[in-house]
Amino acid sequence: MTKSIITLVALMAFSSLCTAAETNTKEKNSKEFETSKNLDIFNSLYKELDMFYVDSIRPEKEIKNGIDAMLDNLDPYTTYIPESEMDNLKFMTTGEYAGVGAVIGERKGKIYVTEIYEGMPAYKSGLKVGDVFLEIDGKSLEGKTTSQASELLRGDAKTTVTVLVSRPGVEKPIKKEIIRDKISISPVPYAAVMDNKVGYVNLTGFTDKSADIFKENFLDLKAKGIESLVIDLRNNPGGILSEAVKITNLFVEKKSTIVYTKGKVKQWDETYKATRDPIDRTIPIVVLVNRNSASAAEILAGALQDLDRAVIVGERTYGKGLVQTTRDLPYGGNLKVTIAKYYIPSGRCIQAIDYTHRSEDGFVRRIPDSLTTEFKTAKGRVVRDGGGINPDLFVEPEKNATVSYYLYTNSLIFDYVNEFQKEHATIAPVSDFKFTDYEGFKNFVKGRNFTYKLKTEEILNSLKDVAKEEGYLDLSKDEFAALEKKLSHDLDKDLDLFRDEITELISLEIVKRYYYQRGETAEMLKKDKVYTQALELLKDKQRYDSMLTPKEKENAAQTSKK
């Protein structure tokens, strides 16, 4: 009887396995058939359009639109990169390209220089911020876009590009011959010893060799006697995952798990550990983050948080826990495809948006806090998944006044600094520089007939439109008039009220003209609220240590002292 039961169970199990295998085979065949069928339909549809549509069809444009529409249903990081855009991909991963080393922008149909990189060909040629391009290699820039102008400026290293520019305050156009070169943008534009022996490193991206450059700067700061470190990852969009791992390895014990990835294809499952002994096990570290710190920046911040090796200060980060790789396509193109999710040492994934579940209109939402899960750091502090990296010390971000926003976006500050630069060949060192001619700036703004609208005014006008539609406008006209009077802005009043904020924006633009990216960062730190909070924390060792201690252990320690 027992043998019969065992035999029956074995047969049932075998039958189930066969059924499952048959089901999987059917599903696989069905999927392959659907794929083949729909590719055949797409191919036939395009041929019919090409033959019979009333106007000519451009294959590179229409098929690219079809590809983009298909990928748009996935996540925003899975993208098709045609051969013509491969230079941009190379720049994103290496930080290098061949060109002149300048940033250009467009306003009122004119393309002008908005930023110069120190030591690069544009800098060496004497090109200046504010110069307006008239011609590039004899080709007029009239009607051209910034991307078209950028293509003309780029080229092979050691080749020459001739530009004709107009410059504020100079009557005749200026011709410049610029020898293109390999442009390498450092991921560390500024590193310095600050007050109280605090080392500061501004890390702007994770391109090839970022870890080596960061290490070199850190060792230089150590040689100068720093006793604590601030790593600024604000507005860092991320980049190469392995570079973030290498930088984390500088501060955590060998064999520590830093990050691991999980994907549909097992070959993408990988665990990244610290492979070397750290170069500093004990230096107090504060990492600065904001809502634009993403991807590899979140791996560095999150790993240091999970391993209780640094205090995170600022805002909650972006929440990108997805890993991409590139796959070669025919004719020089490339597919950048999301292959896995990454998980930091506590086991949490910080991906904040679920792209796999969309509403009927295609909208995706952030994962609500109520659906996130608790995890523990190495020492037992509570951290959560699904919403970026939450800072240990939250600092409310500063918001610019409306008048400041419009002064900046309408290029009033940019144009004023063009005039300032004409009259000042040099300025004081960044540490001593102070902008003092605010009255001159006010007169400049008034002379340009600058106007702007407050958001409250826009909302009030919308409310008046609704009240008119519903027949209540006449009944409420006195109330609306009183509210309009209270909310109407006064340029003189706003310029005086937000003087300090506007002065900071002007100072940043001036310093960037004379001392470039390193000067801009140094000037920004003078009144940086988040950075100031980091300094105060590093001065207070007891408070710093308490932030890396689980609350229950901290409370127990305080009770035992009593």
Q: Which residues are catalytic?
A: 295, 306, 320
Distance CA 470, CA 337 (A): 51
In angstroms, the CA 115 to CA 520 distance is 11
473-494 b/e with 16+ CB inside 10 Å = b? eeeeeeebeeeeeeeeeeeeeb
> Of 97, 92, 5, 34, which Cα lies nearest the Cα of 334?
92
Measured distance CA(370)–CA(341) in Å, rounded: 21
DSSP E strand stretches across 24-158:
79-81, 96-99, 102-107, 110-116, 132-136, 139-140
Q: How far is residue 422's CA from residue 530's CA, in Å, rounded to a whole number?
A: 34
CA distances from residue 464 to 456, 458, 475, 482 in whole angstroms, order as listed: 12, 10, 11, 13
State the Cα–Cα distance between residues 80 and 337, nearest whole angstrom: 8
Of 190, 134, 189, 196, nearest to 162 by C-alpha is: 134
Contact 419, 130 (CB under 8 A): no
Instruction: Tell me how far apart the alpha carbons of residues 10 and 17 are, in angstroms, rounded to a whole number.
Output: 11
Question: Helix H segments across 78-231?
Answer: 86-94, 121-125, 146-153, 210-223
3-state secondary structure of 97: strand
Separation CA 427–CA 425 (nearest Å) = 7
- In a 10 Å sphere around its CB, with 0-12 CB exposed, 13-18 middle and 19+ buried, how is residue 514 labelled? middle
CB 201 within 8 A of CB 257: no
